[in-house]
Structure 1
Amino acid sequence: MGSGHYFWAILYFASLCSASLANNAKINFREKEKKVLDQILGAGKYDARIRPSGINGTDGPAIVRINLFVRSIMTISDIKMEYSVQLTFREQWTDERLKFDDIQGRLKYLTLTEANRVWMPDLFFSNEKEGHFHNIIMPNVYIRIFPNGSVLYSIRISLTLACPMNLKLYPLDRQICSLRMASYGWTTDDLVFLWKSGDPVQVVKNLHLPRFTLEKFLTDYCNSKTNTGEYSCLKVDLLFKREFSYYLIQIYIPCCMLVIVSWVSFWLDQGAVPARVSLGVTTLLTMATQTSGINASLPPVSYTKAIDVWTGVCLTFVFGALLEFALVNYASRSDMHKENMKKKRRDLEQASLDAASDLLDTDSNATFAMKPLVRHPGDPLALEKRLQCEVHMQAPKRPNCCKTWLSKFPTRSKRIDVISRITFPLVFALFNLVYWSTYLFREEEDE
């Protein structure tokens, strides 16, 4: 066997030995990790029932720093006044009893999955309605113990939280939903929660909500005092802005269209009674259905919402168009009655004239006392008529444009239709101006 073969055999043997030594080193390192865990958490060495000491080992309160990572916001319910959120919740504190040797920096931290092995803060979510942990495939929780005794607890949870809403400006509103965390049993003499310095709350990028936009979030403190003491509390305020484009397409534009369709009856003939009645009733029922559908998706609150003002006025306009036809129908029948009365009067006058002419023909020899056709200047009746003529000539008449324009339409029913064609759109346009300016400016003031 040549020297080259000996060289490759020695190299192969050396590589096998180094791999074996590395595996043994890993096994020994894991054994050391197990020994460290047994050393700091062994029976009789650590009691999870006793809270950690304060800063620098004093008897002050234990300081627990909190930070959150909002993974998703599933639903925001107006009718239930709640919202659902999934987040990664983290707590960090220092427990002097958990210090250990890091083996010259090789052991960065110890990992646990059982929270009952160490002391845990008794934090709870005060505005929680429902909540659950995630256990697929394994429980989404871990505890890291660092060499200096610092403990990091992280868990993924889903919560349904109460969110009291003020719907006076709905759907032009903004809502503030809070997430409150507090200590249940430890008072501020024993336990204090603080926000972690530097980005205490993080939100996933491209957070998508169907009807809202998350504008911003604010962190604050909300310590509460009760009969049993003062308890530390943290809160996050999430400011949501409602997306108006959905309501513009689904509510406002259809309501405007229904109101405009109800005005079509003003342009129909007065004698088209079935068409005008069916149009008015159909638009009224459709508007009522639209209003009930909107109210079904909202809680029954005691105050008036912006959407209530809109639907109420639109319903009033549609109902007013139906009443306008009733008035036109009544005026049309009144005009017809007057025409019939005038016709009868003309017939009677014509009959009386015919009778008088017949009487003149038969009594041509009779004499009548005739009044003079021309009066003398001193006659008092002639003076009175002259004064009246002078007064009329001195006071010239001012032409009235509206009366002149309305005189083109001989019947009252036609005049009502013509006035409605102008009045209804003008009043509705004025209402829109007042409505949008009022609620949009109020929204800016609330900001």
Structure 2
Amino acid sequence: MTAALQPLQALVMQLLLLLLTGPASHLADGYRFLSSELNGTKPSEATSGRIQRRHANLALSENISAVLENLLKNYDSTQRPASGLGPTRVQTNILIRSMGPISELDMEYSMDCYFRQMWRDQRLTFNSSIDQLSLSIKMLEGIWKPDTYFLNGRGSYVHTITRPNKLIRLSSNGVILYSMRLTIKAKCPMLLQHFPMDKQTCPLVIGSYAYTSHDVIYEWDHENVRLARGIYLSQFDLISYPFRNATVQRKGEEYSILQVNFNLQRHTGYFMINVYLPCTLIVVLSWVSFWINREATADRVSLGITAVLTLSTISIDSRISLPKVSYATAMDWFLFASFAFVIATLLEFAGVHFFTKVGSGEFPVLDESNTEQERRSQEEEEEEEDEWEDEELMEEELSPEQEQELRPGDVWRHRTGTYIGSRDIHQGMLDNHISVVGGLPSPSSPSPKPVRSDPCWYQVLHCIIGNELYRRKRRSAGSRINSVSRIDRVSRVLFPLLFGCLSLFYWNLYWSQPPPNSWEMTD
């Protein structure tokens, strides 16, 4: 009787075990299997197969728990693997999910990546039908881990939402895979002499904090550094990312490190649209003053000052996002050149105004032979003005006979003993008014003799030294109203030609820069 009840007892125990450890579906399968046994019928193959697999999994789980307990029973997590038998080799790879932002102001960059490390610990080998076990992150507290850190890191952290993003797997041969999701923020020293046509190298250096190369050696594995699909940087192009194994010296000790350099090339489209094109158009706009009449002083000066103020605003706005470096960038040199051309336009008009604009018109230099004749002409004009004053004063001193001979409006010329008519007076005053106010020679004045003009370089030289005597000589000649200065004619060709040549030299110089130094160590 007892022997007959033993199978039944075993079935009841299995049913209770399924009830305590498994879901309701396991309990239903156990109930069906028990009913078939009690009724003397054979259970279905599906039911018996599921129960057998669950038994196997339960046995395997118990086996794994026992294996881990045995592995960690005498394990010392303070000792590295193969201590005293050689260095522990840690193989590393990185999968970059996203990159950026890259800050020139703080000279740093950030990226989101999967950081994986693998090493072998002979103390964790086991014999099991499963080649690899996925363990809880609590297992990390009981085993040895490399003290990896980023030599040029700044504020890196592990993602913890919704749980710490870590993974650990243990192989039967003792190989441990330790993976985590990190956001790495690292410093990126930048040289901005070629900004915004610059190429930068942002390194990432990985190593052990305490273990020297005699204890731990880092190596890139076969996957090394990879980029996820769809990575795009708003300001840069990632042109290459070479990597290497290396060693560094710190405090007399040699340490093993891994280094990867992210070689970046800046996008120039933003700066072309917001800096270079507006500056070029402002410089071209300042050249319009060469076609404006020299008598329009206010118009030409206001145009030049407006261009200078606009360039100042663009220059200040373009420097906001850049560090306060002690050297000039490529964009600074372009802004300086634009300032120079606009200010040169103002100085050009100052020269035109100083030498060629006296009231209105341009005054060339007279020959020495004409100087004496001009002096005599001025003395005769002064004497004639004195005579007119005397005639007005002596008008009341005429005799009665002379007064009868005069017509209404006639004036007696006292010195010559004759009189002139009112029409002659009116015409003389009109001629004198035109000669003095309008700058045109009177009809009675002799035609000027041919004059000699000095070369432009000679005029510019006297403008620089501020020769006032030379300026008065130029004022002594007749004028031409609304005439075009020779300086303006030359500037219409010279300024665009110089600016075009300078632009060609500028772009050829900064676009042909060499690639950045790939392996400059950053400790």
TM-score band w.r.t. shorter chain: 0.7 to 0.9
1:397 counterpart residue number: none
Post-superposition shift, 1:66?
A: 1.0
**Amino acid across the alignment from 1:40:** L
- Are 1:277 and 2:301 counterparts? yes
1:312 counterpart residue number: 336
1:266 counterpart residue number: 290
2:106 counterpart residue number: 80
- Partner SS state of residue 505, structure 2: helix
- Distance in structure 1 (CA, Å) of the matches to 2:322 and 2:516: 24
CA contact (8 A) 2:152 2:205 kept: yes
- Partner SS state of residue 24, structure 1: helix
Post-superposition shift, 1:445?
A: 9.8
Instruction: Give the unaligned 5+ runs of structure 1.
Output: 1-5, 363-399, 401-408
- TM-score, normalised by the number of residues in structure 1: 0.78
- TM-score, normalised by the number of residues in structure 2: 0.67
Q: Single out whichever of 114-123 and 321-330 deviates more from structure 2.
A: 321-330
- Partner SS state of residue 222, structure 1: strand
CA contact (8 A) 1:328 1:413 kept: no
Instruction: Give the unaligned 5+ runs of structure 2.
Output: 1-35, 364-370, 388-412, 418-454, 456-479, 519-523
- Are 1:113 and 2:184 counterparts? no
- Distance in structure 1 (CA, Å) of the matches to 2:63 and 2:95: 34
Residues 32-58 of structure 1: CA deviation (Å, up to 9, x unaligned): 22222222123xx2111110007xxx7
Post-superposition shift, 1:107?
A: 4.5
Residues 327-385 of structure 1: CA deviation (Å, up to 9, x unaligned): 3333343374987x9999757668989x9xx9xx99xxxxxxxxxxxxxxxxxxxxxxx
Residues 39-88 of structure 1: CA deviation (Å, up to 9, x unaligned): 2123xx2111110007xxx7111111111111111211111111111111
2:63 corresponds, among 18, 22, 32, to 32
For these two proteins, the number of residue pairs brought into alignment is: 383
- Distance in structure 1 (CA, Å) of the matches to 2:133 and 2:206: 27
1:44-59 maps to which residues of 2 (within 5 A)? 45-53=74-82, 59=85
CA contact (8 A) 1:213 1:243 kept: yes
2:204 counterpart residue number: 179
2:493 corresponds, among 413, 422, 426, to 422
| Structure 1 consecutive aligned stretches of length 4 or more whose deviation exceeds 6 Å | 9-12, 341-345, 350-353, 409-413, 444-447
- Are 1:248 and 2:267 counterparts? no
- Distance in structure 2 (CA, Å) of the matches to 1:96 and 1:65: 16
Q: Percent identity?
A: 32
- Distance in structure 2 (CA, Å) of the matches to 1:178 and 1:314: 36
Tell me the C-alpha RMSD between the 2 structures.
3.3
Residues 284-312 of structure 1: CA deviation (Å, up to 9, x unaligned): 01101111222222112223321121111
- Partner SS state of residue 214, structure 2: coil
Residues 390-432 of structure 1: CA deviation (Å, up to 9, x unaligned): xxxxxxxxxx9xxxxxxxx988862222222111111101111
**Amino acid across the alignment from 1:85:** M
- Partner SS state of residue 156, structure 2: strand
Post-superposition shift, 1:226?
A: 2.6
1:222 counterpart residue number: 246
Q: Single out whichever of 142-151 and 431-440 deviates more from structure 2.
A: 431-440
1:21 counterpart residue number: 52
1:126 corresponds, among 131, 134, 151, to 151
Larger Rg: 2
**Amino acid across the alignment from 1:428:** F
2:194 corresponds, among 169, 174, 195, to 169
- Partner SS state of residue 333, structure 2: helix
CA contact (8 A) 1:335 1:411 kept: no
CA contact (8 A) 2:117 2:177 kept: yes
- Distance in structure 2 (CA, Å) of the matches to 1:445 and 1:119: 39
Post-superposition shift, 1:181?
A: 0.8
- Partner SS state of residue 194, structure 2: coil
